[in-house]
A = this chain, B = another copy of it.
Amino acid sequence: MARLSDIIEDFIKSLLKHSEGELQLQRNELAEYFECAPSQINYVLATRFSLDRGYYIESRRGGGGFIRIVQLDLDKDDYLLYLINSRIGKSISEQETKDIVTNIMEKGIISDREAAIIKIGLADKTILMPANLRGTIRANILKAMLVAILRARS
């Protein structure tokens, strides 16, 4: 028996195909269509449309609320993708971050100013948290920012 989550995944992917990699839908509507709990939609999004898999989710609550799924334009040997999926991991130090950011600047992927913004924002001095948390926070933010760069390129 095919799992419902997989069916929903396929459904969303077929919608994405017909909409140029960007799609907006309503959680409750979709849940009703598949006769499942609304939170199952969140489960599908979290497990099948994660950053690691090349998707980015935005949403809004309240009247007229929605969920937007953006399919990132993935080039298999994209260096940014490697950073996001393999290099950065769960936690990263300030020095490693600086090295990575300087590197993508030198490659011409980001500007001097973008590099400066990211480096100062993710410095130890800026993230005033216990060291163990700091590395995690930094990794999450850095990965998210690289996604923004990936997205802005196409």
Contact = CB atoms under 8 A, between A and B. Distances in A.
The 5 closest A-B pairs by CB, nearest first: A3-B64, A126-B144, A120-B148, A113-B152, A116-B148
Interface in A101-145: 112-114, 116-123, 125-129, 133, 137, 140-142, 144-145
User: How often does this chain occur in the complex, in copies?
Assistant: 2
A36 interface: no
Contact of A144 (B121, B140, B145, B152): B121
Given A117-B149, A118-B117, A145-B120, A64 B140 contact: no
Nearest to A6: B64
Given A113-B152, A117-B118, A3 B144 contact: no
